[in-house]
Chains A and B, each alone.
Chain A
Amino acid sequence: MPRALHDMNALIRPLESLGRATIGSLAGMGYAAVLLGESLYFSVAGWRIGQPLRPRAVAEQMRQIGVDALPIVVLLALTIGIMLGIQFIAALSAFGAQSQVVVAVAKSVTREFGALITAILVAGRSGSALAARIGSMSVSQEVDALATMGIEPVRYLAAPALLAMLVMLPALTIFADAVAIGGAALYSSPALNITPSAYVMQTLSLLEPGDVWQGIAKSAVFAVLITLIGVSTGFSVAGGAEGVGRATTRAVVLSICWIIVVDMIFSYFLNR
């Protein structure tokens, strides 16, 4: 092969793979959008075409996504609350603004950290579980079997997860908000010379509904992201057990990246 052509190739190869990756991720987004549409369609109108959403399947998913995550959510939220207490007391006392600790913790937890921490946790727990479950079902032809039995895989596997996630992630977020503020109260009230219950009362009087809503709105968006990424990577698994493993990792990494980026965008627009 002539030298020049070889150099051209070295130049074109990375461009080519970049192009392919771009097309791949665009296709992935398109597929996720289709899945979202179909899941919502089956949830609302599935019963009319003989593809009803089963309340039992939704309840089971709600248990796995929400209830089973409670202990670890409590643990993390408590830790984050204490950590924020420590940081804000240290930072604000440098300006003699210790009294602002309560409002700083309250707003940062409800607007930001409650939703973010819960979403990252659920992405790690349930996003990966969805990708692994659906991925191994695709590999072993269970998804094909469902389709040939006249059970739409999206209705049977994706729609219940989406609904459960849309209910449980905001619920977990509210719960995490409360626990984190409780944790901050436990740590900071002695430093501020107030009782923990006075701390909590003060928090409640300082918080506006908009603060809490901001977190809840974000968590609903995160719920959609986590489910769609988990489900779509699961359905597109190819290549046996190894493929399932790769899909699981990919689902978690992609979800967390998307969560953080979307969170930043949301924060920017909501706090202008």
Chain B
Amino acid sequence: MNVTAPLIEVEKLEAWYGRRRILNGVDFAVNPGEIRVIMGGSGSGKSTLLRHLLGLHKPRSGTVRLLGVDIARASERQMLDVRRQIGVSFQGGALLTSLSVGDNVALPLREHTNLDEATIRIMSRLKLEVVNLGGFQDLMPAQLSGGMIKRTALARAIAMDPKLLFFDEPSAGLDPVVSAELDELILRLRDALRMTIVVVTHELESAFKIADTITVLDQGDILMTGTVDAVRHSDNERIQDLLNRRPREIQVDADAYLKRLTEEAA
């Protein structure tokens, strides 16, 4: 693979839930070493896009290529190879509740490598040190605070030193200090471990701090993809609404409105 080829390439991706179209033919590419932030209002389809990038849903149409592999056409072996090189930190953490913090972080190593137990122990505890959770390996997920869950999830996501890291809502629900620390950590992970990182976030401040490039999603369309400055100075009205936290103007169509309120099967 060419060194400069994009790690993620999405072409004309359409996503549907039942009869509702959520993504309207999205094009998207992320280059190696880049930190890409996906921004957008609530319900704009960020999580849906992320789930398609992770191969958790098959696209209705369009293609998703991760590390050069078309994930709709990949064999199980190829898919496994791709998945060993990506790490994902879910919004709610998604830690396995039956395993301790240490075992959660060690899980990918135990499943995918033949390293001996001593090395796995060191590697997983090292990752806990990186996220400032050194010494917490024996706690169970139920005993963690929200911020600790998020950091444990990050430690597990980077357990295998992935090329590509996905991070859903790193700072949602965290205090400002912890979320600033996480932002700092994301930057250092990219620099030290050469990760390419895709972050989904609502937080403008954190987005501007960590992003190299930002993709703005609105109601299933990509409004723009560009550098932090380009997005800040964009003259697109919806983007400015998002940046300045302006409530959107909702057009009212009297007929449709009445129909919604009164009809049996709307």
Q: Hey, which bits of chain A sit against chain B, CB under 8 A? A: 49-51, 136-137, 140-142, 144-151
Contacts and interface: CB of A to CB of B under 8 A. Distances in A.
B90 A149 contact: no
A149 B56 contact: no
A148 B83 contact: yes
B83 A141 contact: no
B59 to A, nearest CB: 16
Given A49-B76, A150-B80, A150-B83, A140 B111 contact: no
B111 A149 contact: yes
Contacts of B52: none
B224 interface: no
Nearest to A156: B111
16 contacts: A136-B97, A137-B97, A140-B94, A141-B91, A142-B94, A142-B95, A142-B96, A144-B51, A144-B54, A144-B56, A145-B88, A145-B94, A148-B88, A150-B79, A150-B80, A150-B84
Contact of A150 (B92, B97, B108, B156): B108
B86 interface: yes
A141 B97 CA distance: 11
Taking residues whose C-beta sits less than 8 angstroms from the other chain, chain B's interface range is 20 to 34
A203 B108 CA distance: 54
B112 interface: yes
B160 to A, nearest CB: 8
A142 B88 contact: no
Contacts of A50: 77, 80, 112
Interface string B38-66: 00000000000001001110000000000
Contacts of B140: none
Nearest to B75: A49
A10 to B, nearest CB: 13
B107 interface: yes
Interface in B82-124: 83-84, 86, 88, 90-92, 94-97, 107-108, 111-112
B94 A144 contact: yes
A148 B97 contact: no
B111 A150 contact: yes
Contacts of B55: 147-148
B90 A141 contact: yes
Contacts of A146: 96
Contacts of A51: 76, 80
A4 B242 CA distance: 51
B111 A142 contact: no
Contacts of B156: 149
A150 B94 contact: no
B95 to A, nearest CB: 7
Contacts of A148: 54-56, 83, 86, 88
A236 B111 CA distance: 25
Interface in B113-160: 156
Contacts of A151: 107-108, 111
A147 B56 CA distance: 8
A47 to B, nearest CB: 12
B112 A142 contact: no
A254 B54 CA distance: 34
Contacts of B83: 147-150
A141 B111 contact: no
Contacts of A142: 94-97
Nearest to A149: B108
A145 B107 CA distance: 11
A148 B89 CA distance: 10
Interface in B187-221: none
Contacts of B80: 49-51, 150
